[in-house]
A and B are shown apart, each in its own frame.
Chain A
Amino acid sequence: MIPSSSGGVDLNIALSAPRHASFSDFLLRVSGSMGVDVPLNSHTPMVDVLHGTTIVGLQCAGGMVMAGDRRATMGNFIAQRDIEKVFAADSHSVVGIAGTAGLAVELVRLFQVELEHYEKIEGVSLSLDGKANRLATMLRGNLGMAMQGLAVVPLFGGYDLAKEKGRLFSYDVTGGRYEEHDFYAVGSGSTFARGSLKKLFARGASETDAVQAALESLYDAADDDSATGGPDLNRRIFPVVAVASADGVRILDESEVEDQVRRLVERRHVRPDGPFAPNDGGATS
């Protein structure tokens, strides 16, 4: 955490710092550290911390969709039922996080300030690639912690105003940045979510269909992964769904998601495993 004195940094320091549009570089300069700064070695005992679970993202006609379940676990405990893990990073991009919740939420907060800071200083937003790269660099700063088991795995996406399409990026703990085509999932339930999306994803699908597919895949992840939370109809806790299009990022209203989720659950009453994918390859051979 940054030292408590940093809120009292005076304007002269801000005035004399070299002209650079990066907030985290400025933060490093004034506080000597960026984010968590705990000396760690291989003997550090593992502590129980909150873990966020599954995030899915997929492209659709005119943009992309990202959704995340609401569960945070601590070992075998359900630590939180209604944590939010999908955020608007800025006006046209979204970031979802899996892994160590405390670090991940802090990373998102810093990333959001970073993007806004750049935009205010330079008068224009970073390109989507620029944002994706910036996140990679920030993530690399957490490598030491990741080696200790405190990994943060984000999924980043947004509407690329220059290329006029939705794009999606995945990361590894070393700060590797990989552009994903079509769809991707991260977190403990990602294997199941990806399997589900393989069957449900359709290129050029409408935004509504893509949101539908995202919700189905999260349901499938919760079905098989104990750390992923399914829709909680009793408490009315539903996945957070974000859509990025040319008009910007829109976090779907809870009532909008509830409506879709209730119908999904109805369908699962009839067919618990979800939509049926016809084995048409076998039929023609």
Chain B
Amino acid sequence: MSMPFYVSPEQVMKDKADFARKGIARGRSVVVIQYGSGILFVAENPSRALHKISEIYDRIGFAAVGKYNEFENLRVAGVRLADLRGYAYDRTDVTGRSLANAYAQTLGTIFTETAKPYEVEIVVAELGVDEATDQIYRLTFDGSVADEHGYVAMGGSAEAIEGALSEVWKSGQSEFESLTQAVHVLSHHALDEVRTLSGRDLEVAVLDRNRSRRTFRRLETAEIDRVLAG
């Protein structure tokens, strides 16, 4: 009878993490940027049907990179949880913080207890009453949560993109400036070459402070092209 090889827990975790990281880095990037009157989500995503960005609740948006079926599962679960909470209590009782906690618990459990971790990274963003009270949570495949300010980039060459954003992003900028910024960094820093990105290559949405109740709004291709044309 053969004995299974001993593998140290450190090695198991490291292997899982490397596996997940590799999967996430393969895809295209998503950026989330705060601006004066809202939060902007921009994904490089030519599909009109398979979304990387979506609405969870009145003031909560979701963005993800990695394996579609996995983050889609998480998104649906998030919508269910938010709708259930809002129905059981009140719409104002649905918060980004509690949702980020739930995601962290679930991702953490999946990472430690299953053979294959989720190859996803997600952002849960909640619109506050002003820029200072906006909340952006970044959740990684192992359930770690980070509270982010200003901007976040995930997937692909996330580091290079965040580096580029750190030089241009400023507090209180307009939606227009943010979108131009996001498209600029995606077209210049996502790959080694410089590309031209148009509305057809992008999925764009905002949580807009000027809207009442459901603040989430998608920008249509023509609308994105209009902004990019200046």
Given the known A-B contacts A19-B76, A117-B83, A120-B56, are A11 and B103 also in contact in the complex, defined by CB atoms under 8 Å? yes
Q: Across the A-B interface, how many residue pairs have beta carbons closer than 8 Å?
A: 65
Provide the residues of chain A in CB contact with B79, threshold 8 Å.
117, 120-121
The complex places the Cα of A12 from the Cα of B88 at a distance, in Å, of 18
* A113 and B81 form a contact (CB under 8 A): no
A2's contact among B55, B83, B88, by CB below 8 Å, is which? B88
Interchain nearest-CB distance for A221 vs B (Å): 31
In the bound complex, residues from chain A placing their C-beta under 8 Å from that of B93 are 7
Decide yes or no: A110 and B80 within 8 Å by CB, A15-B73, A123-B49 being known contacts: no
Which of chain A's residues have a CB closer than 8 A to the CB of B56?
120
Point out the residues of chain A lying under 8 angstroms from B86, CB to CB: 113
- Taking a contact as CB atoms under 8 Å apart, the answer to whether B87 and A14 are in contact is no
Q: Flag if B83 contacts A17 (CB, 8 Å).
A: no
Dominant secondary structure at the B interface: helix
Minimum distance in angstroms from B151 CB to a CB of chain A: 25
Q: Is B222 an interface residue (CB 8 A)?
A: no
- Known pairs A10-B105, A120-B79, A121-B79; A15 contacts B87 (CB<8 A): no
Q: Which residues of B contact A11 (CB under 8 A)?
A: 77-78, 81, 102-103, 105-106
The answer, among B51, B84, B214, for a CB contact under 8 Å with A6, is B84
In the assembled complex, the CB of A8 is this many whole angstroms from the nearest CB of chain B, namely 9
Interchain CA distance A30-B83 in the complex, whole Å? 13
Q: Does B85 contact A (CB under 8 A)?
A: yes
Report if B34 contacts A (CB, 8 A): no
Residues on B with C-beta less than 8 A from A123 are 49, 51, 54
Provide the A87-127 mask, 1 if CB < 8 A to any CB of B, else 0.
Answer: 00000000000000000000001100100110011010000
B164 at the interface (CB under 8 A from A): no
Pairwise interchain contact B77-A7, C-beta atoms closer than 8 A: no
CA distance A109 to B88 in the complex (A): 11
Distance from B134 Cβ to chain A, minimum over Cβ atoms (Å): 21
**Please, how many angstroms separate the alpha-carbon atoms of A23 and B83 in the complex?**
8
Chain A residues, Cβ within 8 Å of B83: 23, 113, 116-117, 120
For the complex, is A40 an interface residue (Cβ under 8 Å from B)?
Answer: no
Contact (A120, B55) CB under 8 Å given A10-B105, A12-B106? yes
**CB of A27 within 8 Å of the partner chain:** yes
Nearest-CB residue, chain A, relative to B62: A120
Q: Which residues of A contact B80 (CB under 8 A)?
A: 14, 17, 23, 26, 117
Q: Which residues of A contact B54 (CB under 8 A)?
A: 120, 123
CB distance from B170 to the nearest CB of A (A): 32
**Does A36 lie at the interface of the complex (its beta carbon under 8 Å from any beta carbon of B)?**
no
Q: Indicate with 1 or 0, residue by residue over A1-39, a CB within 8 angstroms of chain B CB atoms.
A: 010101101111011010100010011001000000000
A110 contacts B105, CB within 8 Å? Answer: no
Q: Is B74 an interface residue (CB 8 A)?
A: yes
**Residue-by-residue, is A116-158 near B (CB-CB < 8 Å gives 1, otherwise 0)?**
1100110100000000000000000000000000000000000
Determine if B5 is an interface residue (Cβ-Cβ < 8 Å). Answer: no
Give the one of B55, B80, B88 with max A CB within 10 A: B80
CB pair B76 A121 closer than 8 Å: yes
Task: Name A residues whose Cβ lies closer than 8 Å to a Cβ of B.
Answer: 2, 4, 6-7, 9-12, 14-15, 17, 19, 23, 26-27, 30, 109-110, 113, 116-117, 120-121, 123
Question: A-contacting residues of B (Cβ < 8 Å)?
Answer: 49, 51, 54-56, 73-74, 76-81, 83-89, 93, 102-103, 105-106, 109, 214
Sample of 5 further A-B pairs with CB below 8 A, known A116-B214, A123-B54? A7-B93, A23-B87, A117-B83, A121-B76, A123-B51
Closest 7 interchain pairs by CB?
A: A14-B77, A11-B102, A14-B80, A7-B88, A15-B77, A11-B106, A120-B79
